[in-house]
Structure 1
Amino acid sequence: MTALPTPQQPVTVRAFVQRLSATPRAARLARHLALSQLRAWGIPYGTDASDSVGIVVAELAANAVTHGRVPGRDFELRLSLVTGSVRVEVTDTLGDRRPPAPGEVAAPADPLDESGRGLLLVDAVADRWEVLEREPPGKTVRAEIDLPGWAVLWR
């Protein structure tokens, strides 16, 4: 007679990592993947948190593709649930072009410019963000979006 298997608790993954080619199509895909992952974690599409994460991922991925691209190298999207917030990290492989730090981001000189507002959006939407050096050369831009009442998601 064989023993019955012991019931297993479901495994909850609270981190998501994806490497993407440094192309505009992959930058759009990063946003879609992030919103899909949030839904899997119980954060519905269209909520303030989901919208904020979508904006941050879209802007950081677009920056990685536009300003941090090294031909033949990918960028990385990392999402994780940390205590009370969603952490978004986008890493590229270009180390010599460092974006401005929080509090140093300025609006474009010409208000009609079509670019130059990405980090302004990140600064406005994220609760915290920073730029980190990485080895080998490159940088990671990390932003956090707070989740009021997040503990309810993980009971």
Structure 2
Amino acid sequence: MGHMNSPISTPRGYAPRIEAEPETGRPRHEFAMVFTSTPRGARLARKLVSHRLDAWGHPYGSRVNDTLTLITAELTANAVRHGHVSGQDFHVRLIHDTDTVRVEVTDSRPERLPVLSGLEPPGDAESGRGLQMVAGLATRWAVAPCEDAPGKTVWAELRLA
């Protein structure tokens, strides 16, 4: 079998970390990984988020798994389409706290901020509805500039209760 190029640029953060929340001492799960800024990298990110959620007790097909997998698909597709800088990867971080799960997608284009328009794209438009979907599915979402490098992080949270 021939060698297949992996869409993962660095396995950094692949193993989940379990830390204690400072306020409660309860476990907190975290998963982080770097992916190549390609459609294949976005697909792998979506699949790994779904897999990690399943491992954390949110089975495939559950509301939490389906919703966050869909949100991740949109945010990673946007990172590839709108946040791509040649030679730069995107980062995905998944954080499971007591009452929320948060997905963060970081890319290298700070000047290309996502904007949620109140206007519906034309009926035959192939894009333009993704952030409306994220806003409708997530409990809350936002974009923040990176503090230590050029780029931005788009994140979305889902309340578990």
State how far apart, in whole Å, the 2-side matches of 1:96 and 1:56 are: 22
2:85 aligns to what SS in structure 1?
Answer: coil
Of 31, 39, 44 in structure 1, the residue corresponding to residue 54 of structure 2 is 39
Structure 2 match to 1:120: 132
Paired position in structure 1 for 2:102: 87
Greater RCO, 1 or 2 (C-alpha within 8 Å, sep 6+): 1
- Determine helix, strand or coil for the equivalent of 2:101: strand
SS of residue in 1 equivalent to 2:91: strand
Determine if contact 2:32/2:91 at 8 Å carries over to the other structure: yes
Identity %: 47
Contact 1:17 1:77 in 2 (8 A): yes
Counterpart in 1 of 2:87?
72
Match of 1:143 in 2: 156
CA contact (8 A) 2:93 2:105 kept: yes
Task: Give the corresponding residue for 2:76.
Answer: 61
Task: Assess if the C-alpha contact under 8 Å between 1:21 and 1:73 holds in 2.
Answer: yes
User: Does 1:18 find its partner at 2:33?
Assistant: yes
Contact 1:126 1:143 (C-alpha < 8 Å) held by counterparts: yes
Compute the displacement of 1:109 (Å): 3.6
Root-mean-square deviation (CA), in Å? 1.4
- Give the residue type in structure 2 aligned to 1:124: G
Instruction: Report how many aligned residue pairs link the two structures.
Output: 135
| Range that drifts further, 17-26 or 82-91 | 82-91
Counterpart of 1:50 (choices 26, 43, 65) is 65
Distance 1:94 1:144 in 2: 22
Runs of 4+ in 1 over 6 A off after TM superposition: none
The DSSP-based 3-state class of the residue aligned with 1:19 is strand
TM-score scaled by length of structure 2: 0.79
* TM-fit CA distance, 1:145: 0.8
Counterpart for residue 141 of structure 2:
129
1:128 is displaced (CA, Å) by 0.5
| 8 A contact 2:72–2:103 mirrored in 1 | yes
Report the alpha carbon displacement of residue 138 of structure 1 after superposing the two structures with TM: 0.7
Larger-gyration structure (1/2) = 1
Task: Say whether the 8 Å CA contact 1:75–1:91 is kept in structure 2.
Answer: yes
Over residues 80-129 of structure 1, what are the superposed CA-to-partner deviations in whole Å (9 max), with x where a residue is unaligned? 012301100000001111112xxx43344412101111101100100110
In 1, Cα distance between the equivalents of 2:143 and 2:43? 22
* AA aligned opposite 1:84: D
Which segment is superposed worse, 91-100 or 65-74?
A: 91-100
